[in-house]
Amino acid sequence: MKRDFLTVWDLSGSEIEYLIKRSIELKSGVDANKCPLLGKSIGMIFQKSSTRTRISFEVGIYQLGAQVIYLNSSDLQLNRGESISDTAKVLSRYLSAIVMRTYQHSTIDEFAQHFSGSVINGLSDNHHPCQAIADLMTIYESKGILRGIKLVYIGDGNNVANSLVEASAKAGVNITIACPPGFEPDNDIVQRARNYISYNKSSSEIVILHNPFEAVKDADVLYTDVWVSMGQEKDAEVKKSRFKDYQLNSQLLSYANKDIIVMHCLPAHRGEEITDEVMDGQNCLAFDQAENRLHSEKAILEFLVK
């Protein structure tokens, strides 16, 4: 049966747990010589530029034995007016799966409706689910648990924050978002996550605050992302002004636990959302996160593509 991974909601809590454990297995080198996707062809359609997502998926697809076909959106007839549905139907005849990185999330939703294989969201303006799975893997590697962990996200309530809220609800993580008023994560996503927690009688909680120093108290994980996401450059100066008190720096870390881990999904704008001393400090696992994108995406591909 066709399975897509468009948002974290496409996975159950037990499936997320499986993917994290499988990611760690793959990272250890187990099954290194096996090629479960041998003979498959997997496309990658990217409307947004990328470093980690493109390279990690291309390497992962190769290591799983499949052929990767990278397609910049300008390479396709989509750029000349062909419909999303027609493109998806045609590519269904050639490819077992598609990784998409785009602006509007509705583009991925529409493509998935007409593509017969698995569609994986490599990033959209609303969601970044592959990043969230790699993040949970990184936390689990460092802390040995997920349930009861306090994850504090400082910064813009963007696609990364949205997916972290969803992943935290599913995995039993307590998440606190600290951001300026008006820059909270998507309210519908937050409410759905809270409803999930309530329905499942989970001990997790989602807290939205505007004071970063209050937020970091008793935190196990401190996370940030860029203040200005791709496609939002016209608001850059306004956002930088609003976010200047939400920087991950040594002063903010002094309010956190000594064994705090610092995470950043990269790219980092050093001197804006995070300082050099924090980014290069012994508590920062940003480059482990980046590596873990490879292993978690291999687990996702192996799980979805049949």
3-state secondary structure of 275: coil
Q: How far apart are CA 293 and CA 52, in angstroms?
A: 8
- Give CA–CA dist 175/208, Å, rounded: 9
3-class DSSP assignment, residue 88: helix
Contact 146, 220 (CB under 8 A): no
Report the catalytic residues: 101, 128, 131, 225, 265, 293
Of 121, 99, 105, 107, which Cα lies nearest the Cα of 37?
99
Q: What is the DSSP code string of 7-66?
A: SGGGS-HHHHHHHHHHHHHHHHTTTTT--TTTT-EEEEEESS--SHHHHHHHHHHHHTT-
Q: Alpha carbon of 293 to those of 23, 29, 49, 203: distances in Å?
A: 9, 15, 17, 28
Residue 253 burial by Cβ neighbours in a 10 Å radius (0-12, 13-18, 19+): buried
